[in-house]
Amino acid sequence: MVNILSFSSEQSEDKAKSKIKVKGQRTNKEYHGKKAVLTTIKTVEDQWVESDIPVTVQHYGDATPEALERRGKFEANKRSADSKKITLDVFHVQTPSGEPWDIGQLHYVEIPPEGIFDVFECTDLTYSVSTDDVKTSLTLSPPPAVAASGGSANPESLPELPNEYVGIGNTRRAAAGVTFKTGKYPSPWSGPSLLVLPFVALTSAIAQSFSRTLLSDIESNYNAPALKLPDNYKTPGEEL
């Protein structure tokens, strides 16, 4: 991105979540009895978040594994976008190509002092026109996890950047000698690094846990019967 007049950037883990647990129930009319009231869970982890900050989200609608996973990814992407923002003031209301700045566009941005060599999505903008100044204020955030950051491939849901930007972020960052350290600002500006955990039925998980606990208690308190009678054993009547 060129013609940057001023910028500010921020990262905050309080808006991102390390683990998003999505809970729901099946509402499909083909499900009856136990299956209809069975609470199901899908968990999505954002490995970018270093702190342990979990959250539980209730999903409304038919809680299929696919629906729960989509909701978990949506939550992770939204919270990641809210936790990493760049605000730029750029000259004029048009991009260098002549098109107006617009929401939803992807832009490759370089701000070396902040470690920024990444692709961002425009999530908000304000045009400002006066008698002595014309500028646009943009708010940029990392695109969704399926999208690119740092020059990787772009998703079908967002406009493509020219091929010249493929891999350019990591290359330019390395050339500038920019590295990231755990727990130090800045962390990588990429979108969430998602890990989807296996689908779980809550009652099954509880039942398995209960069974393991019960079996452990039985094994620890159970005294096996003697394999043979003691030598001093007397049958009933012998002691008379």
DSSP characters for the chain? ---EEEEEEEE-TTTS-SEEEEEEE---TT--THHHH-EEEEEEEETT--S--EEEEEEEEE--HHHHHHHHHHHHHHHHHHHEEEEEEEESSB-TTSPBP-TT-EEEEEEGGGTEEEEEEEEEEEEEE-SS-EEEEEEEEPPPTTS-SSS-PPPTTSPPPPGGGTTHHHHHHHHTT----TTSSPPP-S---EEEPPPEEHHHHHHHHHHHHHHHHHHHHPPPPPSS--TT---TTTT-
Please count the structural domains in the chain: 1
Within a domain: 235: no
pLDDT by residue, tens only, the chain of 240 residues = 567 888 898 888 777 888 899 998 888 888 777 777 778 888 988 887 878 888 899 998 888 888 998 999 899 888 888 889 999 888 888 777 778 888 888 888 888 888 888 888 899 999 888 878 888 899 999 888 753 333 333 344 444 554 556 478 888 888 888 888 877 788 888 877 788 887 676 554 444 554 555 555 555 555 555 556 666 666 666 554
pLDDT value of position 141:
92
pLDDT value of position 153:
33
Within a domain: 71: yes
Within a domain: 219: no
Within a domain: 32: yes
Whole-model pTM? 0.66
User: What residues make up the domain containing 70?
Assistant: 4-196
